[in-house]
Structure 1
Amino acid sequence: MRLRDLPSVDELARQSDDPLAVEVARKVVTRAREQIQQGDDPGDLGAQLQAELTSARAPHLRRAINATGVIVHTNLGRAPLADAALDRVREIAQGYSNLEYDLTAGGRGSRQDHVADILRRLTGADAALVVNNNAAAVMLALAALAEGREVLVSRGELIEIGDGFRIPDVLERSGATLHEVGTTNRTRAADYETAIGPETAVLLRVHQSNFRVVGFTAQPSLRELADVAHRHGLPLVDDLGSGALVDFSDEPTARASLAAGADLVCFSGDKLLGGPQAGIVVGRADLVEKLRRHPLQRALRADKLTLAALEGTLALVIDAPDEIPVLRMLRESPEVVRARAARLAELVGGEVEETIAKAGGGALPLTELPSFACAVEEELAVKLRTGDPPVIAVVRDGRTLLDCRTLTDAEADEAAAAIAAARP
């Protein structure tokens, strides 16, 4: 094809009645012109137009099947929601709600009231507040309690969380000043005691949820930190990060943190809690009220769909925790996972391989969960990833592994169909 043989944009666009046809046709013709100038054949422009229109109309945020064995997979959206949480979202999203309306008083209410009671019940806190993620919760707490003043943090807790965000940066954006205490591997309660001065506003403890320091180490207990803080009339803020409300061997709960003397505890809603993305703050009523009245709270507050999903999830923590997908996957026995892998392997002619699953999301970094995968040909990985729905697996030792700890039985059937479609 020569340049003079190219159709005009209008001519190509008339092959479709899609409102996007002119815009897409312009893109197709421009690309074809560049290809001809480079000596290449641009191919069937009409087919390209249809393919581009199909791509433009397809949703970009798509459901995916997680066969990686990483339960709280940040890149794949972290915690899948329970059916009860989805039901609450659908109910609230399809119409109006009492988000900020007090049905008893017949006047304006607070969106924070909808989950405050159940959070108090689950954690033993005096009060609670919800914002859009845990980094926001920490930033709001420091802005409300320590803006223009110092926050004491151990050098061993100046961690980096996902996508390059660092605790010192969050602290700086809050308007507070960082005062480092101790060393990377050894910090004692006395280090905090010595560092406290007239400009000190808060002691901040950051839980090492996404790593551990081992060997020649020392770290004060939360109760020891609370004693130091309270002797000087200062609040202790505990950033738990992963946010467990049920007991895990290596992860403190919000209730335990408050019982040990923390004045405020911040944690995530979409990690070990298994709910929607949210930052939850629980603790002393007077401090929570300072956060609620701070101007940043309005910018960081959670929306009605987040609150609906969170309320649904929190109810399950009390009544049926194993119905929360994250908790179910963390607790599921290796025998059940192996049986799922064996069934998938039988369906697709694969092999069962023993693997190690992880909690993910920066939680329980040292915990290894015995798991089993269905192993198939390495070359299927790309086809599975680009299929509909995408199946995200792991390539290891020349094979594609579909870890069955992060698959439901129904998803295993979908994965089997995807493998069959991907094979020649």
Structure 2
Amino acid sequence: MKKKDLLKLPSVSEVLLEINDNKYHNDKYIKYIIKDEIAAFRSQAKQGSLQLDRNQIIQSILLKITKLSTASIKPVINATGIILHTGLGRAPVGKKIISKVSKRLSGYVNLELNLETGKRGQRQEHISALISSITGAEDAMVVNNNAAAVLLSLNELAEGKDVIVSRGQLVEIGGSFRIPDMITKSGCKLVEVGTTNRTHISDYEKAISSNTGLILWVHTSNYIISGFTKQVKIDELVELGRKKRIPVMSDLGCGEILDLSNKGIPTNMIVHDVIKSGSSITTFSGDKLLGGPQCGIIAGKRSLIKRIKVNPIARTVRSDKWTISLLEETLRSLRMDSINDNLTLSLMVTTRKELEKRANKLLSVIPTKLRSNHNISIQETFVEAGSGTLPGATFDSIAFKISSKKYTPAKLSDKFRNAQNPVVGYIKGNNYYIDFKSIISSQEKLLLSSIVEVLG
């Protein structure tokens, strides 16, 4: 360690004097960044590896402040082709819905106030009737995600009791969250029946005891078991539950509200059909095929929903005014005759022919030299929905295929992610792809700017 290197380090006040006050906010955060950066340079000085002079250190810290003082969450152009990309926020919500909700929430709102009576109201009342009317349920409620919906429902309906589940449905979702762990954390005891590939109604019947609290059916949303298989249908479990006086709960995961098979979206399980079959409680996500905000929806028998609403856990997982307002607006705009207001569904139903037209139009305005130097071409692709939705189903799409001689696919990926308008594509083979299935049409000018910035 050289003492003269330590003398190069500026004080916090010295760096603060160099900052343009109009450019930054939150003084405490700025000081935190400065102290953290000075500590890093001090460590270098002690190790004898400090290469910068005092002025260069200050400039380096100022650059760091500039980077960290801007919002961490920023708009991204999703060019992966995966519409429900968990890393990119799952279901995108359109500007029209966002605008309506932001105007509504710019001040105070009647979240828990009944304006007619002047008495305290319930936040669930804003969306319960809407959900019920669409799904056919007697009552409904919303919590902050589907995992919370499952945990809360299990705890209320079967705490301290057995929950029967097929071994073929003991799923693990992203982040290593597993159904068996959820059942245990909810205070219930897991009872596995059948085998991984085959489960019969008799397996459930034999497992029922005086301590059985619930029969749970789980949609294997992120994988498929094929070949010599058998799974018991929900209506069969409902019939067994009625006979034994045991409620049946269905965790649908993605939650298909509309049957859009005539528009090219494969149909798996429509929520309305599951509830109509007699499922006591049905849970599903709001930010998948519903195209709304992150939330978990619980729909079913009124008597059971009433119990779940007053469970103490319901308070810990309740949704805020933003989620409830976004969900309400999403549900109100959901119509079979027009899904244009639902950005997620409109992206899904966009045909390859339409995507190819957009791709050719954008390709025509990319400078010829860039197209030639980086070998940009249009290629047909097949993509998945994402987020464990519609497993095994693919969608026809179109992508830019970039086979650059100057940059490796990994380098292209890095440069596009760090562009002024970040673009997230994917690498396949030895090429970089920009897939149009998940690209919002209003972002295409920004995409062009990023392509010129990265390849120019």
Q: What range describes the TM-score normalised by the shorter chain of this pair?
A: over 0.9
Which residue in the other structure is 1:311 paired with? Answer: 328
- Cα offset for 1:17? 5.6
- Cα offset for 1:150? 0.7
Matches within 5 A, 1:252-291: 252-291=269-308
Which residue in the other structure is 1:34 paired with? Answer: 43
Q: Indicate conservation of the 8 Å contact 1:134/1:267, yes or no.
A: yes
- Cα offset for 1:145? 0.6
User: For 2:279 and 2:269, how far apart are their aligned partners in 1?
Assistant: 12
Query: Partner letter of residue 397 of structure 2?
Result: S
In the alignment, structure 1 residue 187 sits paired with structure 2 residue 187:
no
User: For 2:440 and 2:206, how far apart are their aligned partners in 1?
Assistant: 53
Distance 1:284 1:60, change over 3 A: same
- Cα offset for 1:346? 2.3
- Cα offset for 1:68? 0.1
- Cα offset for 1:260? 1.4
* TM-score (normalised: structure 1): 0.95
More moved, 195-204 vs 39-48? 39-48
Name which of 366, 391, 416 aligns with 1:384.
416
Query: Partner letter of residue 385 of structure 1?
Result: R
Distance 1:197 1:398, change over 3 A: same
User: For 1:315 and 1:26, how far apart are their aligned partners in 2?
Assistant: 50
Which residue in the other structure is 2:99 paired with? Answer: 87
User: For 2:426 and 2:361, how far apart are their aligned partners in 1?
Assistant: 19
Deviations 1:41-68 (A, max 9, x none): 1251122021011122111112211000
Name which of 152, 177, 180 aligns with 1:165.
177
Which residue in the other structure is 1:324 paired with? Answer: 342
Deviations 1:105-134 (A, max 9, x none): 221111111111111111111000100100
Q: Indicate conservation of the 8 Å contact 1:85/1:311, yes or no.
A: no
User: For 1:154 and 1:23, how far apart are their aligned partners in 2?
Assistant: 52
User: For 1:242 and 1:392, how far apart are their aligned partners in 2?
Assistant: 24
Which residue in the other structure is 1:403 paired with? Answer: 435
Distance 1:389 1:174, change over 3 A: same
More moved, 4-13 vs 167-176? 4-13
Deviations 1:128-179 (A, max 9, x none): 0100100111111111110000110000000001111001111111111111
- Cα offset for 1:257? 0.2
User: For 2:345 and 2:327, how far apart are their aligned partners in 1?
Assistant: 15
Query: Partner letter of residue 327 of structure 1?
Result: L
- Cα offset for 1:85? 2.6
Name which of 4, 14, 18 aligns with 1:15.
18
Percent of aligned pairs with the same amino acid: 34
Query: Partner letter of residue 384 of structure 1?
Result: F
Deviations 1:64-99 (A, max 9, x none): 110000010001100011234313420332011111
Matches within 5 A, 1:59-138: 59-138=71-150
More moved, 297-306 vs 346-355? 346-355
Query: Partner letter of residue 35 of structure 1?
Result: Q
Matches within 5 A, 1:101-250: 101-247=113-259, 248=261, 249-250=266-267
Which consecutive unaligned segments of at least 5 residues does structure 1 have? none
- Cα offset for 1:273? 0.5
Which residue in the other structure is 1:358 paired with? Answer: 384
User: For 2:436 and 2:277, how far apart are their aligned partners in 1?
Assistant: 38
In the alignment, structure 1 residue 341 sits paired with structure 2 residue 359:
yes
Which residue in the other structure is 2:8 paired with? Answer: 6
- Cα offset for 1:23? 4.2
User: For 1:105 and 1:255, how far apart are their aligned partners in 2?
Assistant: 33
In the alignment, structure 1 residue 394 sits paired with structure 2 residue 420:
no
Query: Partner letter of residue 354 of structure 2?
Result: V
User: For 1:302 and 1:75, how far apart are their aligned partners in 2?
Assistant: 21
Q: What is the DSSP-based 3-state SS (H/G/I as helix, E as strand, rest coil) of the residue aligned with 2:365? A: helix
Distance 1:320 1:12, change over 3 A: same
Q: CA RMSD in A?
A: 1.8
Q: Indicate conservation of the 8 Å contact 2:9/2:42, yes or no.
A: no
* TM-score (normalised: structure 2): 0.89
User: For 2:378 and 2:207, how far apart are their aligned partners in 1?
Assistant: 56
Query: Partner letter of residue 341 of structure 2?
Result: E
Q: Indicate conservation of the 8 Å contact 1:69/1:405, yes or no.
A: yes
User: For 1:22 and 1:300, how far apart are their aligned partners in 2?
Assistant: 34
In the alignment, structure 1 residue 421 sits paired with structure 2 residue 453:
yes
Size of the aligned set, in residue pairs, is 424
Distance 1:256 1:57, change over 3 A: same
User: For 2:349 and 2:77, how far apart are their aligned partners in 1?
Assistant: 20
